[in-house]
């Protein structure tokens, strides 16, 4: 199945963007009459037929639409500090999208080594993973946000902070405390971990301290493992 992303698609006829048209006609060498799938990233999966195979404005006709296609039974928001080497953070965005995430919030922390991101580039990484893993839902991506702003913001669901500071109270193993079909927010800190002030601020605002195991993990590894843990618990 060839999946294309078109957030503004309006059936029955639609013209792909210049970039998607080139990919469809020049790269994949598809022709009039060939079928493709298009998602709007909101859960709609459209089966389409190419009616004009032009490399700059490929036009399709929607044949069938499936709503809420493979909708996850839970909602997961991952608030993660971008890594110093951005390709490691992008690896996380890709893998987490494949596993299943509702929203990404890049966070800026006291110990952050990276305090800027290229939003458009990171969004394209997510979009590429959506298409490659055949998802009908495109995860939301926030701008880089101070972690205390995220902590203080309202959130409907369970809130967790993963940290390595054993002096800041008890941490419970994530798989032992999450439930199926929950709305979950998980904070993952930078290479230098969250500061004690950030941990205490989170705990004071209703966050639960969690552990992801006994191993010392890099930021992108911890974030990916947390994503997988939530997914596994929701498939039991």
Distance CA 182, CA 50 (A): 40
Class of domain 75-233: alpha beta
For 164, the token pair is: 């390595």
Domain 3-66: assigned CATH number: 2.40.240.20
| Mean pLDDT, the chain, whole residue set | 95
pTM of this structure: 0.94
pLDDT at 153: 94
H helices, E strands: number in the chain: 6, 13
Report the candidate in 136, 121, 82, 75 with the shortest Cα–Cα distance to residue 105.
Answer: 82
pLDDT at 170: 86
Instruction: Tell me the CA end-to-end span of the chain in Å, nearest whole number.
Output: 28
For 78, the token pair is: 């991952």
> Which residue ranges make up each domain of the chain?
3-66, 75-233
For 172, the token pair is: 């419970």
* pLDDT tens-place string over residues 142-163: 999 999 999 999 899 999 999 9
pLDDT at 45: 97
Give the confidence band of 1 by pLDDT, cuts at 50, 70, 90.
confident
pLDDT at 168: 66
């Amino acid at each position: 199945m060839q999946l294309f992303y078109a957030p503004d698609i309006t059936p029955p006829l639609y013209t792909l963007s210049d970039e998607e048209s080139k990919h469809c006609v020049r790269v994949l060498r598809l022709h009039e009459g060939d079928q493709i799938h298009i998602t709007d990233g909101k859960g709609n999966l459209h089966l389409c037929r190419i009616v004009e195979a032009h490399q700059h404005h490929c036009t399709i006709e929607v044949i069938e639409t499936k709503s809420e296609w493979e909708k996850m039974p839970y909602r997961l928001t991952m608030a993660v500090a971008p890594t110093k080497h951005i390709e490691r953070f992008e690896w996380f965005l890709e893998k987490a999208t494949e596993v299943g995430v509702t929203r990404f919030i890049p966070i800026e922390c006291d110990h952050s080594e990276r305090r800027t991101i290229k939003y458009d580039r990171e969004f394209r990484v997510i979009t590429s993973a959506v298409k490659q893993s055949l998802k009908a839902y495109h995860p939301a991506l926030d701008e880089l946000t101070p972690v205390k702003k995220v902590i203080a913001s309202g959130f409907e669901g369970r809130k967790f902070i993963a940290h390595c500071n054993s002096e800041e109270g008890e941490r419970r193993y994530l798989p032992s405390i999450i439930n199926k079909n929950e709305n979950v927010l998980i904070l993952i800190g930078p290479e230098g971990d969250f500061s004690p002030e950030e941990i205490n601020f989170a705990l004071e605002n209703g966050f639960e301290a969690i552990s992801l195991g006994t191993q010392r993990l890099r930021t992108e590894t911890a974030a990916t493992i947390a994503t997988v843990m939530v997914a596994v618990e929701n498939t039991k």
